[in-house]
Amino acid sequence: AQSVSQHNHHVILSEAASLELGCNYSYGGTVNLFWYVQYPGQHLQLLLKYFSGDPLVKGIKGFEAEFIKSKFSFNLRKPSVQWSDTAEYFCAVNPNTGTASKLTFGTGTRLQVTL
Amino acid sequence: GAVVSQHPSRVICKSGTSVKIECRSLDFQATTMFWYRQFPKKSLMLMATSNEGSKATYEQGVEKDKFLINHASLTLSTLTVTSAHPEDSSFYICSASPAGSSGNTIYFGEGSWLTVV
């Protein structure tokens, strides 16, 4: 079974600071990797995903993530955060089987951006 | 784009009653849907995999007799919380992938807030 670890539980940054949120997964085969954002009181939104090809993935709102296979990592980055990025961020993984498979989520990282 | 709709978005029910939550794929067919549960300020935990035309597959620790899942058509899965108790209060979310797509195309519903009083 797969598992996901997000080591940063709560991150506080000032506006314009750079962001990197860690995500490591455990699974013996190939995987699909996802980052989701959940703004306060709202539902999940997909930021970006990786399933094959270029390991550097660019998503919405200026976010990007890099899949490093040797490290089983898929860290999320943004060069300059904004106050509106305050939200909960979830990394998730599912086996790349070519069919629908269940997602396993990390525990989430709460990002707080101060003005 | 593809949409997954959940209904109701919010529901309050009395302890001991049952409540049904629907998950619909609006413009695609889904042979498999997934039900997750999210406690306040916590992550999403998979409850069960809903399979069209067959029994759902429940995760360890999830009571199948309490959380009844029915996937009667390719566009609809329902989750019924039976004999609800206050500890069942939570945010329930479904997801679906278009039939024939790979596992990296996933659409989430907006979620359903259940409050049991």
Q: How many CB atoms sit inside 10 A of residue A28's CB?
A: 8
Residue B22 confidence (pLDDT): 97
Percent of chain A, pLDDT > 70?
100
Residue B102 has pLDDT above 80, yes or no: no
Mean pLDDT of B78-101: 94
Indicate yes or no: CB of A99 within 8 angstroms of CB of B103.
yes
Could B104 and A102 be called an inter-chain contact, meaning their C-beta atoms sit closer than 8 Å? no
Cβ contacts of B106 within 8 Å, gap of 6 or more: A34, A46, A94, A100, A103, B95, B96, B97
pLDDT interval class at B86 (50, 70, 90): very high
For residues B24-48, give the mean pLDDT: 92
Q: Do the beta carbons of residue B32 and residue B16 sit within 8 Å?
A: no
- The secondary structure of B16-79 as a DSSP string is T--EEEEEEESSS--SEEEEEEE-TTS-EEEEEEEETTS--EEPTT--TTTEEEEEEETTEEEE
Structure tokens at A77: 């980055």
Distance from B35 to chain A by nearest Cα, in Å? 9
Structure tokens at B105: 């195309």
**Interval B70-86 mean pLDDT:** 95
**Cis previous bond, B8, omega within 30:** yes
Weakest mean pLDDT among A10-19, A42-51, A85-94, B95-104:
B95-104
Q: How confident is the model at residue B74, as a pLDDT?
A: 93
In angstroms, the CA A99 to CA A95 distance is 9
pLDDT exceeds 90 at position A99: no
Output the pLDDT for position B56: 94
* Least Cα separation, residue B26 to chain A (angstroms): 17
| pLDDT the model gives residue B1 | 63
> What mean pLDDT do residues A80-99 have?
93
Are the beta carbons of B108 and A104 separated by less than 8 Å? no
Owner of token pair 């013996």: A28
With tokens 């992550």, the residue in question is B43
Name the residue with higher pLDDT: B74 or B100: B74
- Are A38 and A90 in contact by the 8 Å Cβ rule? The answer is yes
Kind of pairing between the strands at B112-116 and B10-13: parallel
Given a cut of 70, is residue B2 above it in pLDDT? no
H/E element, A28 = none
For CA atoms A98, A103, A106, A108, the dihedral sign is positive
Band (pLDDT 50/70/90 cuts) for residue A73 is very high
- Closest residue of B to A91, CA-based? B43
Chosen for mutation from B102, B107, B108 (greatest number of chain A CBs closer than 10 Å) is: B102
Of the candidate ranges A7-21, A62-76, A95-109, B12-26, the one whose mean pLDDT is the lowest? A95-109
Locate the chain A residue with the closest alpha carbon to B9. Answer: A43
State the nearest Cα–Cα gap between B77 and chain A, in angstroms: 15
The nearest alpha carbon in chain B to A42 belongs to: B110
What CA–CA distance (Å, rounded) separates A82 from A16?
6
pLDDT: which is higher, B97 or A19: A19
Looking at residue A43, its pLDDT comes to 84
